[in-house]
Structure 1
């Protein structure tokens, strides 16, 4: 008797009906629903195939051309290709493409450049910061002394005077710029001036605007940042993973060994292959056109929501994401998100600056134009989406009204199909 079941090397998803049903259900949800979640996008068939390739079978540890495992010639070629493309995309000297996630990239940088107990100055979560920058529930929050800056009550934007005052008072070893729910461009030169004044590293986490940076549509973190981290699955439209970028060779050992073996083990080569694929796509002229469209679409959505009486945090956006304040709608973000999901629109609840509600039932929604732009929506479609959002939230207790909106959402999505309906 064979030790392998029949079809081990030939059968696909049909061999596992339960799993197939869940995956095909997710495909149908994506095909017939609108994604507005800022941490999501829609990857190309090329990225899907690279991520599902035989690279998943290969284990390597260490760095390209210096592995602890044999049989690595093609693994080295894939990782070297990803690194070369990332360098070209962002104009930097050094890149580590191994990080499994944005949090791992950030933690690897912290581990490699800081000592336990060092002070990190970063944006507070309620102001738009990311939990990996020092939330008490994370390793960063446990292992380092965290000081948070916020946003101005008047403008709801970063106040560099506050950042400077906190830096002078607490003398951080690292300052972090960037977050997950901040809708405006950041002044990297201003952050670097503060960092230099107190002798701190400046780390920029550009996870939510990396695509805009690559397309020349957002201020570039270099030469101001000592190190930059980013995920690859948001505006870069790639595999779920992350990377770190820097220019000073003196930082290389700290960052590289902070990631491996510091916070993770062997490389997920199938993910690195998919990163190489998306970097190659991002180097093409079409990628700049995509990001320009995402900015235009975000403006259309923001203007529609504001015109229908919804307040946008910080007065709107000049990026591809925005934060909606629901206080004047008499509803919390969790309830609004549930209603919108019933209407075929995926969003995420989110804290707003100075929120008096808990994270589980916050006062806001975070929205992004990234995924809708990828599937081909333009300003007209995003204005329609804005109208549906307002209507769905108002009809949150009316199942029939939400179902009717969902029918319209489905019809729109089928005008802009994604993938084959296999």
Structure 2
């Protein structure tokens, strides 16, 4: 009997091959996506997927965990070293579940959450009404000004009125540095726990290219993919022993059963990559490339929210254009550039249409794109948007960008 996917299920194998071709020939510029390391995929595709390991290292409810205990211990210790903290839980299946576990550990139903508004760049799990975090708890929000910057005085005003149990800072579409010190002061003044969700910038944080929320944040959550380039998953960090014990219980048995040991192995491998000196070079490139992207787009007459970026993403406002974020998303996709439509400050359209697009530099930076290539790409983005209904131009640009893309292959073959 064959154990190879190509022979056992050619339909799935064929779609994977097509996706491999798409990733190699298109320009991936969704800010929350990245290309993980082959070694991470090797760990995730290993026999560890066979092993149940409910509980924590050396305190399991299943036998035969002597080796996966050591792997999870490695992941924990590497995470603590990376972020400079005393406690790490590497078991959450996603960033959303990590956030949910923190709330479950430290809040009662109908306690108060204050987080960034979803339409202003926050995340669903920061109390959005469509999320369980906005239904199980009383959720309130702060946002950005029309210039795209957070006004911390206003955040403080809202916090004094709301008196939240948890103040959440973090984002999915904010291009500037968060003032963790100021946010910590605001939280302390109203008796709130400060939780920093750094899912988008964690890879920059560990490289010293973005401020570390410790020691200001009480709890830090993140995903392990995005700018970290690890496997899809979540992570919870803290220096507070009391919170740590409650979080462990909230993750298991509160939120999850068996941890995904193959993913935890992938996290350990990814963290090792993040600890290498070369990681700092990558993080610097991510920031420099995003800055280059923003500068060229502004030179071409496009409005960049907050007039620039301090991290890995650029939020392009199309409020002054006749076309929408959805229109731009589709046109750029036809030209081989993958982005996502996104709400912007002063939004006038629905969340399904929007007046902006979010563009990121991590994935192309992982392929080896430098400033020179980002100047080319930024100009091609502007070329598409300048003549957004010209489908023939989109086809031509797609062909031109494919020639550029294949010079920077990310994977030479699918890994099974």
Bin the TM-score by the shorter chain. Answer: over 0.9
1-structure distance, mates of 2:7, 2:24: 20
**Corresponding residue number in structure 2 for 1:3:** none
Q: CA deviation at 1:36?
A: 0.6
Instruction: Pick which of 257-266 and 354-363 moved more.
Output: 257-266
**Corresponding residue number in structure 2 for 1:70:** 63
**Corresponding residue number in structure 1 for 2:16:** 23
Counterpart check, 1:95 vs 2:95? no
1:31-69 superposed Cα distances (whole Å, 9 cap, x missing partner): 001111011001111111011111111111111111111
Q: CA deviation at 1:78?
A: 1.0
2-structure distance, mates of 1:115, 1:13: 50
**Contact kept? 1:310, 1:329, Cα under 8 Å:** no
1:240-286 superposed Cα distances (whole Å, 9 cap, x missing partner): 00100000101112111112222222101111111101100000000
**Corresponding residue number in structure 2 for 1:179:** 171
1-structure distance, mates of 2:16, 2:22: 10
Question: Matched residue of 2:228: which SS?
Answer: coil
**Corresponding residue number in structure 1 for 2:409:** 417
- Displaced runs of 4 or more, over 6 A: none
Q: CA deviation at 1:331?
A: 1.2
**Corresponding residue number in structure 2 for 1:57:** 50
Q: CA deviation at 1:316?
A: 1.2
Q: CA deviation at 1:314?
A: 1.2
Counterpart check, 1:364 vs 2:356? yes
CA RMSD of aligned residues (A): 1.0
**Corresponding residue number in structure 1 for 2:285:** 293
Counterpart check, 1:335 vs 2:331? no
1-structure distance, mates of 2:321, 2:25: 27
**Contact kept? 2:5, 2:13, Cα under 8 Å:** no
1-structure distance, mates of 2:63, 2:330: 50
Question: Matched residue of 2:14: which SS?
Answer: helix
Question: Matched residue of 2:7: which SS?
Answer: helix
**Corresponding residue number in structure 1 for 2:248:** 256
**Corresponding residue number in structure 1 for 2:115:** 122
**Contact kept? 2:80, 2:88, Cα under 8 Å:** yes
2-structure distance, mates of 1:47, 1:319: 24
**Corresponding residue number in structure 1 for 2:195:** 203
**Corresponding residue number in structure 1 for 2:128:** 135
Question: Matched residue of 1:328: which SS?
Answer: coil
Question: Matched residue of 1:156: which SS?
Answer: coil
Counterpart check, 1:379 vs 2:371? yes
Counterpart check, 1:157 vs 2:149? yes
Q: CA deviation at 1:421?
A: 3.8
1-structure distance, mates of 2:132, 2:412: 41
Question: Matched residue of 1:329: which SS?
Answer: coil
Residue ranges of structure 1 left out of the alignment (5+ in a row): 1-5
**Corresponding residue number in structure 2 for 1:188:** 180
2-structure distance, mates of 1:56, 1:353: 43
Q: How many residues align?
A: 414
Q: CA deviation at 1:167?
A: 1.0
Q: CA deviation at 1:407?
A: 0.6
Counterpart check, 1:399 vs 2:413? no
**Contact kept? 2:80, 2:87, Cα under 8 Å:** yes
1-structure distance, mates of 2:251, 2:5: 34
2-structure distance, mates of 1:279, 1:421: 24
1:156-193 superposed Cα distances (whole Å, 9 cap, x missing partner): 21111111111111110000011100000000000000
Residue ranges of structure 2 left out of the alignment (5+ in a row): none
2-structure distance, mates of 1:256, 1:14: 42
Return the TM-score normalized by structure 2.
0.98
